[in-house]
Amino acid sequence: MNSITNICVYCGASLGSRPVYQQMAEALGAELVRRGIGLVYGGGSVGLMGTIARAVHEQGGKVTGIIPSALKTKEITSQVFGELITVTTMHERKAMMAGMADGFIAMPGGFGTLDELFEAITWGQLGIHAKPVGLLNANQYFDPLLHWVEQALSEGFVRAHHRNLIVVAEEPASLIDQMNVYEPPAGLVQWLDWNKA
């Protein structure tokens, strides 16, 4: 059983074209608060980022946002939810988010969300971390991505045991339940302890 204190959520800086995405962000925020899990996220107050941060903050949960200084004028309106940490680069942002989290959840989003998601998956594959990586598959948004994973498996670019690096569910409670019992796939590369290098 994993001990999840904080979850890093990757999601869009826009709301998307369907109300279900905003509703799911609110539902995930409520579920985090219900379980006493803190939110680590990209620090913005716009889009789905702002939706989940607002949901957690307004229900008394812990919110930690991490944002590069160059994005503050683009991703923050007049509202700031919880603690906001300003960093210099995107690399610094992603490393700090990963270090503060006990697991990762990707919600619908664009290129930036996928960049963050695949970095978390790759780090798990390399044994840099052993944390669960979840997809909250709202409205089957990630189905094409999951089909691509199967294609990569069938074409020999992803190994079969790496399929289990990704935990998938369509509802927040089910996803977090699965993440709580996540075990890293056997046979992963064990990385040198880079924090002590």
Q: For every one of its 197 residues, what pLDDT tens digit does the chain have, with 9 covering 90 and above?
A: 568 999 999 999 999 999 999 999 999 999 999 999 999 999 988 999 999 999 999 999 999 999 988 887 666 656 788 999 999 999 999 999 999 999 999 999 999 999 999 999 999 998 889 999 999 999 999 999 999 999 999 999 998 888 899 999 999 999 999 999 999 887 665 554 444 44
**191 assigned to some structural domain:** no
Least Cα distance to 43 among 57, 26, 31, 23 occurs for: 57
Q: Does any domain span residue 161?
A: yes
N-term to C-term CA, the chain: 29
Q: Which domain holds residue 158?
A: 6-115+132-180
User: Radius of gyration (Cα) for the chain, nearest Å?
Assistant: 16
Query: Given this model, what pLDDT does residue 194 score?
Result: 43
Q: Is residue 193 included in any domain, yes or no?
A: no
Residue 124 maps to a domain: no
Q: What pLDDT is stored for residue 190 in this prediction? A: 57
Residue 80 belongs to a domain with what CATH number? Answer: 3.40.50.450
Give domain status of residue 123, yes or no: no
pLDDT of residue 137: 97
The number of domains in the chain is 1
Is there a domain that residue 72 lies in?
yes
Report yes or no on 190 lying in a domain.
no
The Cα-based distances of 106 to 117, 130, 169, 191 in angstroms read 6, 17, 11, 24
94 lies in some domain: yes
Exposed/middle/buried for 81, CB within 10 Å: 0-12, 13-18, 19+? buried
